[in-house]
Amino acid sequence: MRDLLRLAVDPGIVSLAGGLPASELLPTAELRACLDGVIERDGARALQYSPPWEPLKEWIAGYMQRLSVVCGPGEVFITNGAQQGLALLSRLLLDRGQTAVIERVTFTGVQQITAGRGAAVRLLPTDLSTGADMDALEEALRLEPRPRLIVLIPNFHNPLGVSISAEKRRRAAALAAAYGVPLLEDDPYSSLRFEGADIPPIKAHDQAGMVFYIGSFSKLIAPAIRLGWIVAPAGLISQLTVLRESIDLEASGLMQRAVASFLEQGLLEPHLARLTAANRTRRDVLLEALKTHLGDIAAWTRPEGGLFVWVTLPPDIDTWECFEVALRSKVAYIPGAAFDVSGGSRNTLRLNFSNVSPERIPSAVERLATALRGG
């Protein structure tokens, strides 16, 4: 994935490949003011080693309660982004050679913390309208050896753009409880909704303490913040703390304080309003361009938020083979096979709409269509 993204950094290339917000929409001035305010208020204390910043944990607990998750600060563990949350929980719950259940097409970070760590994987199909297949999940949980971990992406799936339906979320929590298998709910994108009604997370249906929720400020505010969180049973927080000591000790105390200040000042809501309005416009332009230039041969998802659209092409079009052609045409994407654990999906691709101005999207898709058609 990183190699593909590096190929697309040429300033002359319109990149529909990454998973980035538009730089011009990041709250630069607000964050600078928060950092200045923290240093003025706390001085050198803000620059020292320090335990997790309690006001930030309290805000997260309140945020989770607004999502219908019963949660207190003692169940919140601060991480360096959602990916670290996935990595820590996989180390805690899954050993090499044990079995995990993941979607067949999923974020590369999920692949890395399961198959990439030597786990056996059972793969779920994903419905492009309603999300991961729950019948397949139940079947995977029935088989021996019993899986030790489930990983699902509930909202605006990376790379598919689909969200898991409310009914499937209830069933996922019930299956995790019934079979005693921890479920990691990787949810960095839920606050990026720009259309439709919010759906409570899988964790909201968790009565057995088997669902671990993972969130991220990197998507809510800015990627370089590198802060996220886990919601886990209070009894496991100390184990996560010890495990984390072998990696990086703690998240930046300075950044935790600055983010808490940003949140306490009510700056998140207007920032998200600007960001999601821009993302909706860009999604709409991308979908219209796909209809114009690929509507006769392709199908695609219509996400209600997040960053990605998944495009499916005829079986005879190999998006790996077309990638270099597209680069020569000054447009980049991610071939779908990069996300397929089974090695399939060679006739698919992922497009990002958030980091390209609306004015540049139509011509980029036109060049993309020409490359995919072999022109």
Mean per-residue pLDDT, 331-339: 95
Section 257-261 average pLDDT: 98
pLDDT of 98 reads 98
- Do 284 and 316 fall into the same domain? yes
Tokens of 50: 């320090």
Single residue among 201, 235, 264 that ends a domain in this structure = 264
Alpha-helical segments (H) within the chain: 2-7, 28-42, 54-66, 81-93, 108-112, 134-142, 166-179, 217-220, 234-245, 253-264, 268-294, 319-328, 361-372
Q: What is the pLDDT of residues 4-52, one digit of tens each?
A: 666 656 678 899 998 889 999 999 999 999 999 999 999 999 999 999 9
Orientation of helix 361-372 relative to helix 268-294, angle to 10°: 40
Local confidence band at 364 (pLDDT 50, 70, 90 cut-offs): very high
Q: Which of 165, 373, 192, 180 is nearest to 282 (CA)?
A: 192
Mean pLDDT of all residues in 302-322:
97
pLDDT at 86: 97
Q: Of 249, 264, 279, which residue sits at a domain end? A: 264
233 and 273 in a common domain: no
Looking at the structure of the chain, the number of domains it has is 2
Is pLDDT at 3 greater than 70 in this prediction? no
3-state SS track over 187-209: CCCHHHECCCCCCCCHHHHCCCC
Among the ranges given (10-24, 127-141, 160-174, 316-330), the one the predictor scored with the smallest mean pLDDT:
10-24
pTM, two decimal places:
0.96
Nearest-angstrom CA–CA distance, 245 and 91: 13
Are 211 and 301 contained in the same domain?
Answer: no
Q: Which residue has the tokens 């993941």?
A: 102
- Give me the percent of the chain exceeding a pLDDT of 90: 94
Q: 38: domain CATH number?
A: 3.40.640.10
Q: Flag whether pLDDT at 340 surpasses 60.
A: yes
Residues 276 and 360 in one domain: yes
Are residue 56 and residue 144 in the same domain, yes or no?
yes
Provide the pLDDT for residue 4. Answer: 62
Q: What is the mean pLDDT of residues 60-65?
A: 98
3-state secondary structure string across 109-124 = HHHHCCHHHCCEEEEE
Average pLDDT, the chain: 95
Last residue in a domain, options 244, 264, 284:
264
- Is residue 213 domain-shared with residue 203, that is, in the same domain? yes
Do 331 and 229 belong to one domain? Answer: no
Residue 105, pLDDT > 70, answer: yes
Please give the pLDDT value at position 197: 96
Rounded Cα distance between 226 and 347, Å, is: 33
Claim to verify: residue 184 and residue 115 sit in the same structural domain: yes
Radius of gyration of the chain (CA): 21
Compute the distance between CA of residue 293 and CA of residue 375 in angstroms, rounded to an integer: 13
Q: Is 236 in the same domain as 354?
A: no
| One domain, residues 171 and 54 | yes
For 40, the domain range is 28-264
For residues 159 and 206, state if they share a domain: yes
